[in-house]
Amino acid sequence: MANETTGSQWPLWEVFTQAETGDPHEHAGSLHAVDGEQAIQNARDVFGRRGKVVSLWVVPAEAIVASVPSDAGPMFEPGNEAAYRHPQFYKVPRGVRIY
């Protein structure tokens, strides 16, 4: 009986919330909604019921392009190996305050 309307599940939306201005929007969860307006209303009820939320984003889940788990090694490995991207890689004269 869940399908008595259109006979299909409403689209899935990913919800991102911002707790304070200046903070990043963080993934809070997901929900089904018939359109963006309803997704925002439902997101407020589900993820903004308590605790401060100053801004909401809802994104159709199908619009998200994600890396795949099998890529994880080759895709992210260079970041870990590139020690020269980290400040500790560089030597400075003893006793100098650099920051």
Contact 27, 16 (CB under 8 A): yes
What whole-number distance in Å separates Cα of residue 62 and Cα of residue 66?
10
| Position 80 contacts another protein (CB under 8 A) | no
| Position 86 contacts another protein (CB under 8 A) | no
Contact 73, 58 (CB under 8 A): no
Q: Annotate each residue in 23-62 with x if it binds another protein (CB under 8 A) or - if it does not, as one string.
A: ------xxxx-xx-xx------xx--xxx-----------
Query: By rule CB under 8 A, what count of residues binds another protein?
Result: 24
What whole-number distance in Å separates Cα of residue 26 and Cα of residue 15?
8
Q: Work out which of 1, 63, 64, 65 binds another protein, going by CB under 8 A.
A: 1
| Position 66 contacts another protein (CB under 8 A) | yes
What does each C-alpha distance from 64 to 12, 24, 50 come to in angstroms?
11, 18, 27
> For binding to another protein (CB under 8 A), which residues are involved?
1-6, 9, 12, 29-32, 34-35, 37-38, 45-46, 49-51, 66, 68-69
